[in-house]
Structures are given as structure tokens and as C-alpha cells.
Chains A and B, each alone.
Chain A
Amino acid sequence: MSGQDFTAEGGHGAVPLEGVPAAKAGHGSEREWPLYEVFVRGKRGLNHVHVGSLHAADDEMALRHARDVYTRRNEGVSVWVVQARHVAASSPDEKDPMFAPSGDKVYRHPTFYSIPDDVPHM
């Protein structure tokens, strides 16, 4: 067993992580449904809040998926969806753009990127 690390966290228990790839060369073989960000208004009078992401082929499917995935426990009276690539974002921590060479990379998409309501100009 030595030399092989296991994580006990990550939900359902020990899984060896050593030697496991973290990305696929050339990425996936299939063109995927685009990623959408989902915002739900939990109750009348509240803001829409970001609840997560999903994949869908178009806006209409994204709305249906959002209903199925994020409101199946009666959550929400209103749902917004927007393609992740259409979300413009900035981070107050990024002082120098030189150190943000990945602004156009997928992994910077703002999934789960919640901004407190009291931050101005966001």
C-alpha cells in the first residue's frame, strides 16, 4: 500500500489518487452541451441567487433542466439561466492582470461564484 495515497474524504471513501490524471489529453471526444449558470428566487421579495450549474443544448432546455435539478424540492418561484460564457466577471483580488492569464479559460467560469449582495458595482 505504501507509496499510494488515498483520500478518505470526497464523499464515499477511500479512493487512490496517485497517478490519476486530472485532465484528458486533447479534452473530451464529444462536443458537449454548453454550461449554464442557474439562479433561483426562493420566495417572493428575495433576490435571485446563484444555486449551481447544469448543461443544456439551448436556453429552453436549460430552463427545464433547472426546474428538474434545482427546484425538485419545491425550491423557488422563479428561475433564471444564463450560459456561463455570457457571464462577465471580475475579482476584487486581481490587482494585476498579468497574473490573470486564464481569464478566458473554462476553469475561471464563475460557477458557484457568489457575490454578496452588499458589494457595490458588481
Chain B
Amino acid sequence: MTTSDTATDAQLSALETRFEDTIARSERIEPRDWMPEGYRKTLVRQIAQHAHSEIIGMQPEGNWITRAPSLRRKAILLAKVQDEAGHGLYLYSAAETLGVSRGELTEMLIEGRQKYSSIFNYPTLSYADVGTIGWLVDGAAICNQVPLCRTSYGPYGRAMIRVCKEESFHQRQGYELLMTMMQGTDEQRAMVQESVDRFWWPALMMFGPPDEDSPNTAQSMAWGIKRNTNDDLRQRFVDMSVPQAEALGVTFPDPDLKWNAERGHHDFGEPDWEEFMQVVKGNGPCNAQRIAHRRAAHEDGAWVREAALAFADRQREAARA
């Protein structure tokens, strides 16, 4: 946000103090409040990537809507993917309170200038992946998203409360699908284990590189935008997932995974950060495909959006005449 040219240094510092006091009191910053430009930009980047992730995240699961093996599963999956469109919409709206439009953000996404979560650059190869994404990927997302309901920026926090409320069924439906499949045939059990093997490491990578490699985390935490470190969240996720896997009857593909009584947490192996960096750089299995799909939808829809505007203009003119 730009400040008026006439603002003196003293006035500016008073604004900064007020902003920092608000954060220190754990109160929310609202769209009309003064905020440092760095805070605003960091928020735009974070909310935008979150919104993009919801929208791109429709694709891997959407891949199975037309092949869902029961009508009940088809309804659940379609409703879930639809929710993701809604969540993207809520989040784009939160970003719009910071002066950037949904159209702008969409263009930056399809031009590859803004990012989304790497997890969606992995392919979905069997119906069990629908369950695994619900369980592990949405499970990891829960660890990330619940703290965001208390994020310092009001519109983001409120969007996240609606998202979390609606998401409460997402992880459950995934786990329930896997549970049901594990009670089915041997082929189905093998399908579940294969899917878990494929998604475990990418799910761990969702929390990002180790803290010592994330230099700007401290500023985001001080501003109350980010509330937990990458490693904290990853540990919480592993500890949460292990008993769930046992109840399900599957294993995780990590020989180093074991309970450490001294720490009161599970020890676990190191994800392949080289693969992670490759996927982040655009060389993942599905990066190009996901963007091309989103670009096609956006461009194919341009004539429809334009027609609706032309129609609205015409209606307004008619009303005036």
C-alpha cells in the first residue's frame, strides 16, 4: 500500500507502531488498515499460491470423476472437487481485498509466474489415489490450514474458517474410501498400498524444505502470517499419520520411521529434496499438463465471459433508454 507523499517520517512510524501493536495483541489486520508494503506483498503471494493450489488441485482428483466405481463415490468425489473450486474462489476473493484481481492472478498462474503446491504435479494412477489424496494430502493440508484460521489478516482467516469447515469431510471421505477398499479384495488392498507408497514422500515434501533452508520464515512468523515452521508441521503430520496407517493396515515406505520415546515423536527419513526441487522448477511429472489444462479452460471460456459482459451492458442501456 502506498502512503501519501505528504506523510512525514514521524507519521509513518506512528502507523507502523499501530500495525505492530495490532499484531502483538493478536488482533486482525483488516483491508482498510494501513499495512507495510512487504506484509501486503507477502500475503498476496501466499493467498495467491493457496488459491492456485485449490484450483489446480481439482485436476488430479477430477481425473477420476468419470471413472468413479460407484455412484455414491462419484457423488462424493464430484462434491469434493466442486468444493475445491469454491475454496479457490473464496481465497481469490481474499486476495482481491489486497488490490489484485482474480483475472490478474489467473494470468500469472497460467504464465507460470506464480506457483502452486508441487503435490498436484504428481499423477493420479488408480482410484485408490482419490482416497490417498484425501487422507495424506488433505491431512497434510489440515496441518497447514487450521493454524491459518488465526492468521493475522482478517479476510484470509475468515476465508480459511469457511474452507476448513467445508473440508472437514474431505479427509474423512478419503480415509473411509481406503478403509472400505482394505475390506475388499486382495487386488484392492494392493492398490491401496501401492498408492500410499507413491504418495507418502510427496506428502512429506508438502511442508517444504527443512527450516534451516527457509530464511524468510522468521519475518512471516513475526507478522503472524505464518504460525508454525515447516519442520514442526511435518513432525505433527508424521505423528498423526502413523496410527492412522496402523488402523488401516498399510505401511509407509520408510525404513527409518520409528517411535522415539525420548523425543516423544516419531523419527523418520529424509525426503528426496532433489526431486522436490525438480518438481518446483517445473520438471515434475504433470507440471506442463496441469498448466495447459488450466490455460485451456481459461481461454476457452473467454468468449462466454465476454458475452455475459456484453449482455449486461446491453441490459443496462435498455434500462436507461
A touching B, CB within 8 angstroms: yes
Give chain A's interface residues, CB within 8 Å of chain B: 1-18, 20-24, 27-33, 35, 51-55, 57-58, 61, 69, 72-73, 89, 91, 93-94, 98-102, 105-114
Interface of B is mostly: helix
Which residues of A have CB within 8 Å of B76?
none
Contact call A106/B101, Cβ cutoff below 8 A = yes
Tell me the interface secondary structure of chain A in the complex.
Answer: loop
Q: Within the complex, which residue of B33, B89, B100 is in contact with A91, where a contact is CB–CB below 8 Å?
A: B33
Verify B34–A99 contact, CB threshold 8 A. Answer: yes
Interface core residue of B97, B108, B155, B216 (most chain A CB under 10 Å): B97
A101 touches B90 (CB 8 A): no
Instruction: Closest B residue to A28 by CB, please name it.
Output: B103
Q: Are B209 and A27 in contact (CB under 8 A)?
A: no
Question: A11, A13, A32, A108: which has the most chain B beta carbons within 10 Å?
Answer: A11
Residue of A nearest to B88 (CB): A11
> Beta-carbon contacts of B1-21 to A below 8 Å, as 1s and 0s?
111101100010001000000
23 cross-chain CB contacts under 8 A: A5-B216, A7-B49, A9-B148, A9-B225, A11-B163, A12-B140, A13-B144, A13-B205, A14-B117, A15-B115, A17-B42, A23-B44, A24-B100, A35-B96, A52-B89, A58-B308, A106-B99, A107-B1, A107-B97, A107-B99, A108-B31, A112-B94, A113-B31
0 or 1 for each of B42-56: is its CB under 8 Å from A? (1 = yes):
101111111001100
- In the complex, are the beta carbons of B302 and A61 less than 8 A apart? no
Q: A81 to chain B: closest CB distance in Å?
A: 13
Known: A18-B216, A52-B90, A98-B4. Is A32-B102 also a contact (CB below 8 A)?
Answer: yes
Which of B33, B209, B225, B312 is the one whose CB lies under 8 Å from A1?
B209
CB A2 to nearest CB in B, in angstroms, measures 6
1/0 per position for B197-219, CB-CB distance to A under 8 A?
A: 00000000111110001111100
Given A1-B277, A14-B117, A57-B312, 17 more contacts at CB 8 Å? A6-B214, A8-B206, A8-B228, A8-B234, A10-B144, A12-B144, A13-B53, A14-B276, A22-B40, A30-B305, A58-B312, A91-B32, A98-B11, A106-B101, A107-B40, A111-B93, A112-B97
Asked if B154 is at the interface (CB within 8 A of a chain A CB), the reply is: yes
Query: Tally of A-B residue pairs with Cβ under 8 A?
Result: 256
Contact check, B49 vs A10: say whether CB atoms are below 8 A apart: yes
Task: Check if B100 sits within 8 Å of A107, measured CB to CB.
Answer: yes
Q: How far is the CA of A56 from the CA of B148 in the complex (A)?
A: 28
Residues from chain B with a CB closer than 8 A to the CB of A7 are 45-46, 49, 208, 220, 226
Q: How far is B147's CA from A1's CA once the two chains are assembled, in angstroms?
A: 25
Does B102 contact A55, Cβ atoms closer than 8 Å?
yes
Considering only residues 180-238 of chain B, those with a C-beta below 8 Å from chain A are 205-209, 213-217, 220, 225-230, 233-234
Residues A22 and B41 in contact in the complex (CB < 8 Å), given A6-B230, A30-B103: yes
Complex CA gap A111/B7 in Å reads 27
* A13 and B206 contact, CB distance less than 8 A: yes
Question: How far is the CB of B174 from the nearest CB of chain A, in Å?
Answer: 14
Q: Are A107 and B107 also in contact (CB < 8 A) when A5-B217, A13-B205 are?
A: no
Give B41's nearest chain A residue, CB to CB: A22
